[in-house]
Amino acid sequence: MNENAIISNLSKINRLINHYIIEELEKRGIFGIVASHGSILSMLFVREHMTFTDLSLAINREKNTITMLIRKLEELGYVYLKKDPNDGRKKVISLTVKGLALKPDFMEISRLALEKVYEDFEQEEKLLLLEYLDKILINVSESQEV
């Protein structure tokens, strides 16, 4: 085992899981959504309405990145924007009926992806893996915002 392959392997895993998720979405007739949309939609499934700032903090992404992703989701008819009733300078992002209808598919695809990731893992191995990944995240986060 090459201990120097950690970054390459993490990158490959990310790419393969993202590809798997897109394939599963397309099998269900859902096109145009990329893996980056997943964290946004998942948050909106829970909170229904969020400002750009709240969403940015919740998923740890820059507002300009979120703006591009939201714009695409809006074009696809999954979200809509409206003025924040508490602060007219802000916009609130909300799911449309079409966006909310994605929830069962997202839940199922997430379940399948986790099954794939954890195939042949014992519970103790899963916990250790998560502990090690958290440690790596802390290590790389110390020098920059993630």
For the chain, what percent of residues have pLDDT higher than 90? 75
Q: Residue 143's pLDDT is what? A: 65
In a domain, 93, yes or no: yes
How many domains would you assign to the chain?
1
Note whether residue 52 is domain-resident.
yes
Cβ density class 65-95: b for 16+ within 10 Å, e for less:
ebeebbebbeebebbeeeeeeeeeeebbbbb
Residue 34 phi/psi, 5-degree rounding, is -110, 170
> Contact 17/113 with Cβ under 8 angstroms?
yes
Predicted confidence pLDDT, tens digits, the chain (146 residues): 788 899 999 999 999 999 999 999 999 999 999 888 999 999 999 998 999 989 999 998 888 889 999 999 999 999 999 998 888 888 999 999 999 999 999 999 999 999 999 999 999 999 999 999 999 999 998 766 54
For residue 141, give both structure tokens.
Answer: 């986060």
Q: Which domain holds residue 91?
A: 36-99
Model-level pTM? 0.83
Find the DSSP H helices in 1-146: 6-27, 35-47, 52-59, 63-75, 97-100, 103-117, 123-141
